[in-house]
Structure 1
Amino acid sequence: MSQSMTGLFKDGQEYMTTWPMQKQLNAIFPEYRVINATKFSIRVMPPLAVLSAFAIINFYGDSFIPQGIAIGAFFLSLPMQGLMWLGHRSNQTLPPALRAWYQEIHHKMQLQGVKVSQQTSKPRYKELAKLLKTAFSELDKVFTKQWF
């Protein structure tokens, strides 16, 4: 599965906005923690990269420009790593146990009259995210509580 880097970043951003940020999912999936860390790093790391590079160059002098740039690049790479992980994860097919759970939730939502997308034979994490987001937004807490 060869995918471009920009495609991974785009998929990661879409997955980050699609995944339902519900605490019930925190114990089952790492996405909750990765998304929170990625959002935090998107906000904090660029200023920290500039500040750290500037501080190193200012404190140690011009001979440490390569080290300052390297540390700044490291800090800038952290949000990109989170987006890449999310993009890769969104395109992975669900393992058999999760696939059965996805199919069960999809079937029960159809029985409740919720309009859901067509079920695929090999669902990926991005389809699970869309289904869970729909479940949390369309169904009441009593109905979703049985799954978590």
Structure 2
Amino acid sequence: MNVILVATLNSGYKFSQTWPKKEPYLLSFPQTGYIKLADLSLTVAPIIAFITAYLQLFYIGMDNLNTTIAMSLLILSLPVHGYFLLGKQAEADLPSGLRSWYREIEQQLQSSDVEIKQRVNLNKSKAHKLTYMDLA
């Protein structure tokens, strides 16, 4: 189970790095917003957890140390949860409408660039099961 969790987190992080973040995709796919939230939480969550712990310990004192640690760990777990969900989304099958759109994009890319042709040819071995990671 531990290996599956780490593999899913790694897949989610790779998915967030390969997914295009340009304007036309913001309206078409909800994954763009999820990726922005996961990336933002990765940078902001440690700061918020530290400030929360500091303020609680400063104003309430050491009496609520257990609550402070639990709240900080909860805040620190938000990016992990985001990348886990992105990893699950990256491994999900494409709907039929997106599969046909993927084929159109694949044909356009094959006629344009040699380096992209090699990437597309690598993905053809998985042609029976297209995922969101392939679309990215």
TM-score range, shorter chain: 0.7 to 0.9
Pair 54,98 (structure 1): closer, same or farther in 2 beyond 3 Å: same
Identity of aligned residues (%): 29
Distance 1:76 1:102 in 2: 36
**Separation in structure 2 between the aligned mates of residue 111 and residue 43 of structure 1, nearest angstrom:** 39
Shift of residue 81 of structure 1?
1.5
CA positional deviation for 1:58? 2.1
Match of 1:123 among 99, 105, 130: 130
Match of residue 32 from structure 1: 32
Instruction: Write the mapping of 1:8-27 to structure 2, written as runs, cut at 5 A.
Output: 8-27=8-27
- Within 2, Cα distance between the matches of 1:55 and 1:8? 34
- Which runs of 5 or more residues in structure 1 are unaligned? 130-148
- Gapped runs of 5+ residues in structure 2? none
**2:109 corresponding residue in structure 1:** 109
Query: Would you say the 8 A contact 2:12–2:85 is kept in 1?
Result: yes
**Distance (Å, rounded) in 1 between the aligned partners of 2:134 and 2:101:** 12
RMSD of the alignment, in Å? 1.8
Report the 3-state secondary structure (helix = DSSP H, G, I; strand = E; otherwise coil) of the residue aligned with 1:82. Answer: helix
Q: Deviations over 1:75-131 (max 9, x none)?
A: 1011111111111111111011111111121123224455142331221010100xx
Q: What TM-score do the two structures reach when normalised by structure 1? A: 0.78
> What is the number of equivalent residue pairs in this alignment?
128
Length-normalised TM-score, structure 2: 0.85
Distance 1:39 1:95 in 2: 26
Q: Distance in 2 between matches of 1:73 and 1:30?
A: 27
Q: 2:106 is aligned with what amino acid?
A: H
Mapped partners of 1:91, 1:127: distance in 2: 9
User: Which whole-Å CA distance do the structure 2 matches of 1:128 and 1:99 have between them?
Assistant: 9
Moved over 6 A (4+): none
Q: Is the partner of 2:86 in helix, strand or coil?
A: helix
